[in-house]
């Protein structure tokens, strides 16, 4: 096809898609999908998702609870009461909006930062604390909750999500899988293999990239030369879409559409949610080494919680008293989870060797022996 004919065809497709209210879905991406402006006003009335007032308040309640959880978890780690922790503050809209669009039968594959997604899907806060406290009980997913466990190795979970979605497709089950990863994850081979497989086999998978601008200290510009991350989907033959990741309603809308399409046999979608991590990568990191306070402050002015709160207020369904009450409630809920966490029975350190294999292989037996000798020696000192 001649270049101009091709461009015309592309423009036509884009125009039709936009007319249908589908947003921008080609590699020449326009501005990210948005429903709320930064001041909480509705910028896209047609794009307003079908959510009841109760649901809107409930989504906001989760976002505030996650912020409180984040602050407490960080403090616990700093006080030596927890092993390590990956803060999520700033990413509440990306997580709450996408999680809210999921159905119980869908499968969810997290990285290590999706505490809010895990909680919305039914994992108790105490379990999430237990996991970060080094207690494997925290990795026990409650019966009937279709969440996979935390994936520390970057992007490996993308393959698992595609595999599960493919199995569901073969079995004729009407469900989708969603997989979370960061901008850095898109540089991993696993990610590209998963994308290719999903495209070829048209698996019902939603790839949800929280582009929080950094992979630890590596900024987005050093991660990929691509103009957008979303456009990577095009090379694999499916749709990519950018969304304002600090706009919970826009995130809900694009995720809901992508999941619906997947369940209806329309194949995979790649969502790039543009957001920002307010805090450290993990408690082993120090963001002041690679970001300026001005940059962080600029993003804090686009706080997803503030945007949603202002929207609820403008709808006349939220007051100052509601706000105060919610923070108190969230603090009490998390304080209870912390108390439960600290009262969990202590685990035997030897357990870390015990549960991967039915029979312990020789190298683990050797390491266990070494650990016992070390502990005995320490006791003698």
Ligand X SMILES: Cc1ncc(C[n+]2csc(CCOP(=O)(O)OP(=O)(O)O)c2C)c(N)n1
Active site residues: 277, 281, 290
Q: Judged by CB under 6 A, which of 92, 114, 127, 183 binds ligand X? A: 183
Q: How far apart are CA 236 and CA 259, in angstroms?
A: 18
Residue 285 Cβ vs ligand X, minimum distance, rounded to whole Å: 9
Cα-based distances in Å from 262 to 2, 99, 267, 289: 33, 16, 5, 41
Closest to ligand X by CB, 158 or 177: 158
Size of the site for ligand X (CB under 6 A): 14
DSSP-H helix ranges across the chain: 3-19, 53-78, 92-100, 115-120, 125-132, 156-171, 189-201, 232-235, 248-263, 293-300, 304-314, 320-342, 362-380
Whether the Cβ atoms of residue 35 and residue 256 lie closer than 8 Å to each other: no
Closest to ligand X by CB, 215 or 262: 215
Pairing verdict, β 177-182 and 205-211: parallel
Contact positions with ligand X (CB under 6 A) in 103-162: 113, 152-154
Closest to ligand X by CB, 109 or 318: 109
Residue 209 Cβ vs ligand X, minimum distance, rounded to whole Å: 8
Q: Judged by CB under 6 A, which of 97, 133, 182, 240 binds ligand X? A: 182
Radius of gyration (C-alpha) of the chain in whole angstroms: 22
Residue nearest to ligand X (CB): 182
Sheet holding 239-244, edge to edge: 107-109, 177-182, 205-211, 269-274, 239-244
Q: How far apart are CA 67 and CA 4, in angstroms?
A: 50
Residue 247 Cβ vs ligand X, minimum distance, rounded to whole Å: 19
Q: Judged by CB under 6 A, which of 281, 283, 307, 337 binds ligand X? A: 281
Residue 148 Cβ vs ligand X, minimum distance, rounded to whole Å: 16
Residue 374 Cβ vs ligand X, minimum distance, rounded to whole Å: 26
Contact positions with ligand X (CB under 6 A) in 207-226: 212, 214-216
Residue 110 Cβ vs ligand X, minimum distance, rounded to whole Å: 11
What are residue 376's phi and psi, to 5 degrees?
Answer: -65, -40
Q: Judged by CB under 6 A, which of 23, 185, 267, 268 binds ligand X? A: 185
Tell me which stretch binds ligand X (CB under 6 A): 128-136, 183-191, 192-200, 346-354: 183-191
Residue 86 Cβ vs ligand X, minimum distance, rounded to whole Å: 7
Q: How far apart are CA 120 and CA 254, in angstroms?
A: 18
Closest to ligand X by CB, 175 or 205: 205
Closest to ligand X by CB, 123 or 212: 212
Closest to ligand X by CB, 177 or 223: 223
N-term to C-term CA, the chain: 79
What are residue 354's phi and psi, to 5 degrees?
Answer: -90, -25
Q: What x/- string results for residues 232 through 271 when contact with ligand X is judged by CB under 6 A?
A: ----------------------------------------
Closest to ligand X by CB, 134 or 153: 153
Residue 15 interacts with ligand X (CB under 6 A)? no
Cα-based distances in Å from 273 to 60, 128, 222, 241: 18, 24, 18, 9
Per-residue HEC secondary structure of 17-66 comes to HHHCCCCCCCCCCCCCECCECCCCCECCCCCCCCCCHHHHHHHHHHHHHH
Q: Give contact residues for ligand X (rule: CB under 6 A).
A: 113, 152-154, 181-185, 212, 214-216, 281
């Amino acid at each position: 096809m001649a270049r101009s004919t091709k461009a015309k065809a592309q423009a036509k497709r884009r125009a039709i898609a936009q007319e249908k209210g589908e947003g921008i879905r080609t590699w020449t991406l326009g501005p990210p999908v948005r429903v709320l402006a930064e001041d909480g006003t509705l910028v896209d009335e047609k794009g307003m998702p079908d959510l009841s007032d109760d649901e809107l308040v409930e989504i906001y309640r989760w976002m505030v609870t996650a912020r409180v959880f984040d602050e407490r978890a960080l403090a616990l780690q700093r006080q030596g009461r927890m092993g390590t922790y990956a803060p999520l503050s700033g990413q509440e809209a990306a997580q709450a909006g996408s999680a809210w669009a999921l159905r119980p039968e869908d499968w969810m594959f997290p990285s290590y930062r999706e505490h809010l997604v895990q909680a919305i899907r039914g994992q108790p806060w105490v379990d999430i604390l237990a996991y970060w406290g080094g207690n494997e009980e925290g990795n026990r997913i409650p019966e009937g909750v279709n969440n996979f466990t935390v994936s520390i190795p970057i992007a490996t979970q993308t393959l698992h999500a595609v595999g599960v979605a493919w199995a569901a497709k073969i079995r004729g089950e009407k469900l989708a899988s969603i997989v979370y990863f960061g901008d850095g994850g898109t540089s991993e081979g696993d990610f590209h293999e998963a994308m290719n497989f999903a495209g070829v086999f048209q698996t019902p998978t939603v790839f949800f990239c929280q582009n929080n601008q950094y992979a630890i200290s590596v900024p987005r510009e050093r991660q990929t030369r691509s103009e957008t991350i979303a456009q990577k989907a095009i090379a694999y033959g499916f749709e990519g879409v950018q969304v304002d990741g600090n706009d919970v309603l826009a995130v809900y809308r694009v995720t809901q559409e992508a999941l619906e399409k997947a369940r209806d046999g329309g194949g995979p979608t790649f969502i790039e949610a543009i957001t920002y991590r307010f805090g450290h990568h993990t408690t082993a990191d120090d963001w002041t080494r690679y970001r300026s306070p001005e940059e962080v402050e600029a993003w804090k002015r686009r706080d997803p919680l503030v945007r949603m709160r202002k929207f609820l207020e403008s709808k006349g369904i939220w007051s100052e008293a509601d706000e105060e009450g919610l923070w108190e409630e969230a603090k009490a809920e998390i304080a209870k989870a912390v108390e439960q966490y600290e009262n969990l029975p202590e685990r035997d350190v030897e357990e870390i060797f015990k549960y991967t294999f039915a029979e312990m292989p020789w190298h683990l037996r050797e390491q266990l022996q070494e650990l016992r000798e070390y502990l005995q020696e320490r006791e003698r000192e």
